[in-house]
Every structure is written in C-alpha cells, then in structure tokens.
C-alpha cells in the first residue's frame, strides 16, 4: 500500500497538519475525515487504510487546537463558525473543490455544519456517533437520558479543573475512557497529541465556546448517512431518531450493534464499508 504523506496546509494565519492516504477521487470528490475529542487525526488511520485498499484517497487533518500551528489561546477562537471556516479553508488550500465529508464526535458537529452551509462543496456527508446538532440540542433539553449522558459537557466548560483531571497520572482517565476496544498504539497517539503544551486546553475550548450554536445549524441538503452505535454511552437514541427531520436529501441511518462511541477505531471495517456505500465506490 502506498505510504501515507503528511502535509502542512496554511489557512489564514494557521498551519494545519494533514495526513493524506493516496488514491483516487470518487465522483469528482475526495474523502475528508474530521476527528473528535479526545482523539486526533490518528483515529482515522484504520479507516483510511481500508479506503485506500479500495483505491480511494482520503485527507485527515489535525483540527484547530490539535495542530501545533493552529492553537490560539482564547476561547472565542473555538466557536463553531471558526471551526467551520477552517474546513472550508483547508479544502481551498488542498485544492479540494468538493469532498465526501466524514466526521466523528466533534468532527461530526463540524461536518454537519459545513454540509448544511456549503452544500456546493460537499458531495456527501457521513456523520458518525453524533446526531445533527439541532437534534442533539433538542435531545439534551427534552430527553432526561441524553441530559444525563451529556453531563460531562458542563464539567468540560469549567476552567482548569478538566485539564487537571484529564492530564493527571499520564492521562490515566483518558486511557480508561477509551477502554480496551481501541488499539493501544492509537490511544498512545491521541494522548501524545493532547499532552502537547496547550493542546488539552485548546481541545476543551471547543466545549467552552459552543454556547447555543448547535441549535442554529441549518438542515442538510446533501446525501447523508448517519452512523450510530447502540453501546454508545454518550449519545442516546432520541437525538438519533430526531436527526431525520434535519436532512432533506437522501438519508440513511446505520446502527452498529455492540460498538462503543469510538467507532472509527473499534469498527473500522464496518465504517469504511458504510463510507464506500455512501460515496458510491465498490
């Protein structure tokens, strides 16, 4: 298999690291993979390998706060409009006119928003684990189960204490949160990234800057697949079911049984096949 290349893409004043798995475009678009928290672009390694085995090229950036060259210190720099603009800017910098956009966890939130606001740039959307942001916001407000599962978000918005807890004892809490389903080398790469100076604070600033922006994300008008796993401890079924109301194009819901929240690392073969099915590649 061709070797993975790492590029630096300049977007405004920031430099983003981007891992590129060689291959071809599909339907005039490349696959762009957006990671979540507390992960890194390495979360897509196993999926990208499988896409590459089918000859499909993919790009996996380290997002704002994770790339050392794109790590501003203020909370306001991590609002959803800034995160969205990064992705459009990355597409411009990488020469990607249209993409098959894939996002997991926080990457899914950003992917939903980009797909909703820039449909001409998005050939298809595959959102993983997290529902459409407006559906998720509704579930957090109206479903006691989702409200309870989202309790950690309020903690993450506090100053200092989350960093201290998550970085303590060599990130022992993060390691426990990933469980045994994720390969140890990928866990080590996630932790190494978040242990860099300022990285954990930058990643947590995504939560601190969120406000009520999720409710304002428009409906999506591009072909969309939403992938959810029934053993996800963070996302309840209510927001999953409500997501269909926010997609006006072809929509598919795929439920993976017995898989945790960490779908890209735990079920890469299944996820790769779902992505290939959405983008129309054999």
CA 145 to centroid of chain Cα atoms: 23
Per 3-state DSSP, what percentage of the chain is helix, strand, and coil (rounded to 5)?
Answer: 50, 20, 30
The C-alpha atoms of residue 109 and residue 101 are separated, in whole angstroms, by 12
Catalytic residue among 132, 207, 232, 246: 207
In the annotation, is 105 catalytic?
A: yes
Buried/exposed 130-157: b ≥16 CB within 10 Å, e otherwise: bbbbbbbbbbbeebeebeebbeeeeebb
Give dist(CA 120, CA 99) in Å, integer: 10
Considering 105, 113, 190, 232, which one is annotated as catalytic?
Answer: 105
Nearest one of 99, 114, 88, 102 to 28, comparing CA atoms: 99
Find how far residue 13's CA is from the centre of its chain.
23
Token pair of 269, please?
């073969």
Residue 86 annotated as catalytic: no
CA distance 6 to 251: 33
**CA within 13 Å, CB half, 59:** 25
Task: Output the CA–CA distances (angstroms, integers) from residue 43 to 61, 193, 266, in the order listed.
Answer: 11, 12, 10
User: Taking the CA atoms of the chain, what radius of gyration do you get in angstroms?
Assistant: 17
Which residue spans within 137-223 are E strands per DSSP? none
Q: Coil, strand or helix: which one is 224?
A: strand
Of residues 104, 190, 246, 261, which has the active-site annotation? Answer: 261
Q: Is 261 a catalytic residue?
A: yes
Which positions are annotated as active-site residues? Answer: 105, 207, 261
């Amino acid at each position: 298999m061709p070797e993975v290349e790492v590029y630096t893409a300049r977007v405004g004043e920031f430099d983003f690291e981007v891992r590129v798995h060689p291959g071809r475009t599909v339907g005039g678009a490349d696959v762009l993979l957006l990671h979540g928290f507390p992960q890194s672009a390495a979360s897509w390694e196993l999926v990208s390998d499988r896409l590459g085995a089918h000859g499909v090229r993919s790009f996996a950036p380290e997002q704002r706060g994770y790339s050392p060259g794109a790590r501003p210190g203020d909370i306001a720099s991590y609002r959803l409009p800034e995160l969205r603009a990064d992705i459009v800017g990355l597409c411009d910098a990488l020469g990607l006119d249209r993409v098959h956009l894939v996002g997991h966890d926080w990457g899914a939130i950003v992917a939903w928003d980009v797909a909703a606001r820039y449909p001409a740039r998005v050939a298809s959307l595959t959102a993983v684990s997290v529902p459409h942001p407006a559906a998720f916001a509704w579930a957090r407000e109206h479903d006691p189960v989702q409200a309870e599962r989202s309790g950690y978000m309020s903690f993450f918005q506090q100053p200092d204490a989350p960093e201290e807890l998550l970085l303590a004892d060599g990130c022992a809490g993060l390691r426990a949160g990933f469980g045994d389903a994720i390969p140890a080398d990928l866990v080590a790469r996630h932790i190494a990234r978040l242990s860099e100076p300022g990285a954990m604070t930058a990643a947590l600033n995504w939560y601190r800057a969120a406000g009520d922006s999720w409710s304002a994300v428009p409906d999506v008008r591009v072909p969309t697949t939403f992938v959810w796993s029934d053993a996800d401890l963070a996302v309840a079924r209510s927001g999953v079911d409500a997501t269909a109301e926010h997609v006006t194009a072809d929509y598919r819901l795929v439920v993976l049984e017995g898989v945790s929240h960490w779908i890209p690392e735990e079920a890469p073969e299944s996820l790769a096949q779902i992505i290939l099915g959405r983008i129309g590649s054999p």
